[in-house]
Amino acid sequence: MNDPREPVLELQGVVTRIGSQLIHDGVDLTLRRGEIAALIGGSGTGKSVLLREIIGLMKPSAGSIRLLGVDVWAASRAQLDALRKRFGMLFQDGALFSSLDVADNVATPLREHAQVPPGMLAQLVDLRLSLAGLSTLAGSKLPSELSGGMRKRAAIARALALEPEVLFLDEPTSGLDPITARAFDRLLRFLCDDLGITVLIVTHDLDTLLTITDRVIVLGKGRVIANGPVDQVVQVDDPWIRSYFEVRASIIPGALPD
């Protein structure tokens, strides 16, 4: 089942129209097990929309999306429910339930979808918090008492609750200071390497791209205009890509301080 060559995600000819506006005009891409891929593109190119289509929140006008071997938009309700337990999603501001403390936020998917032996739930929640780089003391805090970085970690802990095979992240480092953002990047790399989770990030953060991603997918004009490791994408002759990477005077992949 865990064949590393098996595609985790396959998009074919995805077309999205919102009103009269054509957002995607045939997007094709594949994601393989155990890689961290980043989805970038100018604002309005439909990155977040694509993410919502992949996880089954918004229906594309045409095309097919296969996630973990399931056609998301042809699957039955039961199949989709089963699929939802196999991926995690981190929304932009975390989307933690504000009335529950952090531990209860993490415990919610476990209580709903897993049969955890009595007495083990608290330990399992602590393990999730610890994997997300939070002190277990944070468990008793309410989301409103957390800093932005901690909130994102708590949201990651919740997304990890059910041992997902794939993790989707929408702008995980936006609104974080550079130090916190880099620590977050290392966390993602650790999740990918040590837990074997496949990660797709929608991001604007150049540092994230340069330090932790295996592959960069660039959306533009409704299509994928570049797809490959950062050093290849940099070479692509496209005005948007050029100006995007020119923001940083020198680009040396992997050369950012740890």
1 Cβ contact partners less than 8 Å away, ≥ 6 residues apart: none
Check binding of 144 to another protein (CB under 8 A).
Answer: yes
142, 206, 225, 256: which one binds another protein (CB under 8 A) = 142
* Nearest in space to 240 (alpha carbons), one of 45, 42, 49, 39: 42
Interface residue with another protein, options 61, 123, 147, 243 (CB under 8 A): 123
Structure tokens at 22: 């054509």
79 makes contact with another protein (CB under 8 A): no
Q: Minimal distance in Å, beta carbon 115 to another protein?
A: 4
| Interatomic CA distance for residues 138 and 127, integer angstroms | 12
Binding to another protein by residue 122, rule CB under 8 A? yes
Distances (CA, A) of 193 to 4, 111, 175, 189, 250: 13, 27, 25, 6, 28
DSSP 197-210: -EEEEE---HHHHH
- Alpha-carbon distances, residue 62 vs 4, 21, 25, 77, 143 (angstroms): 29, 14, 9, 20, 38
CB of 96 to another protein, least distance (A): 9
Stretch that binds another protein, among 40-48, 62-70, 121-129, 211-219 (CB under 8 A): 121-129
Applying CB under 8 A, which part among 56-64, 65-73, 108-116, 200-208 lies near another protein? 108-116
Q: How far is the CB of 218 from another protein (least distance, A)?
A: 31
The answer to whether the beta carbons of residues 226 and 214 sit under 8 Å apart is no
- Considering only 11-19, 54-62, 118-126, 237-245, which stretch makes contact with another protein by CB under 8 A? 118-126
Determine the 3-state secondary structure of 187 from DSSP: helix
The contact pattern for another protein, residues 158-187, with x = CB under 8 A and - = no contact, is: ----xx------------------------
Instruction: Give the residue among 47, 139, 44 at the shortest CA–CA distance from 100.
Output: 139
Identify the residue among 15, 80, 131, 183 touching another protein (CB under 8 A). Answer: 131
Binding site for another protein (CB under 8 A): 1-2, 98-99, 103, 114-117, 119-120, 122-124, 126-127, 130-131, 136, 139-140, 142-144, 162-163, 194-196
